Amino acid sequence: MALPPPRKRFGQHFLHDDTVIQQLLIAIAPRPGQHLVEIGPGHGVLTRPLLQAVGELDAVELDRDLVAELHTTLAGSGLRLHAADALAFDFAALRTDERPLRIIGNLPYNISTPLLFHLLTQADVIADMHLMLQKEVVQRMAAAPGGGDYGRLSVMVQTVCRVDYLFGVGADAFQPRPKVNSAVVRLLPYAQPPIVLHDPVQFAHLVAQAFSQRRKTLRNSLRGYVDESALSALGIDPSARAETLSPQDFATLSNDVANRQGD
């Protein structure tokens, strides 16, 4: 069967490097009885060994040509294929028993950040995520406060998950060859989150506002949310910039704002 060509509008870059595939399998360590979910299976180069290890697998694929190909090449394999857009897919609906989901995916560069945020909203049904993304995105996810890579994505991901940068992947591992390098990250949602949020929606808005103009001090970027005296009372320097605050600092600030609004 002739393989369908990559579609630029889907941001497709198909993994073909056997060494990288083996690295991924070692990192994932799939076991029988686990509930695996693959996002964007492509031509199935990772799907096949995952099925061999586990015996069954859910996969979410948007490209209708790839869906047709996988239905043909993996018929009777235990693959449950969902022809859907991962950005709108209800992953929580896949959990039909006590087993949490293990998410695996080579995420398209053009939707990686919104897809990450979508997955974070369903973290309570997820055991772990092994994701391949643009290297720059993984560096931002894992960044510590104070550096140039640290930002909104760092805070939002680290509030919900432990972030482990696993290994880099060169552009030659994909077809067609992307213009950037990739990396694999492991996200482990906290069973008991170390950071308690009184209002998660407001927290997300506050973090986004704080990083909307990175060069501004907190007294300016958060004007309308909190005044200087409130920042100082929480031990936060009003003249500091957003990248100096830890996820816990943002939670403390957000919770204080929520408490004031509730008074």
pLDDT digits (tens, 9 = 90+) for 144-173: 999 899 999 999 999 999 999 999 999 999
The answer as to whether 162 is a domain residue is yes
In the structure encoding, which two tokens stand for residue 13, read together?
């870059």
pTM (predicted TM-score): 0.92
- 160 shares a domain with 34: yes
- 160 shares a domain with 41: yes
The residue range of the domain holding 22 is 8-189
The answer as to whether 2 is a domain residue is no
| Alpha helices per DSSP H over 60-107 | 64-73
- 158 shares a domain with 72: yes
The answer as to whether 218 is a domain residue is yes
Q: Where are the beta strands (DSSP E) in the chain?
A: 14-15, 35-39, 57-61, 79-83, 101-106, 126-134, 161-169, 174-175, 182-189
- 120 shares a domain with 93: yes
Domain count for the chain:
2
Gyration radius from the chain CA atoms: 20
pLDDT digits (tens, 9 = 90+) for 208-240: 999 998 889 999 999 888 889 989 999 999 999
Q: Which amino acid is at 87?
A: L
The domain boundary residue, chosen from 138, 160, 189: 189
Give me the percent of the chain exceeding a pLDDT of 70: 95
- 244 shares a domain with 168: no
The answer as to whether 230 is a domain residue is yes
Specify the pairing of strand 79-83 against strand 161-169. unpaired
User: Do 206 and 254 form a contact (C-beta atoms < 8 A)?
Assistant: yes
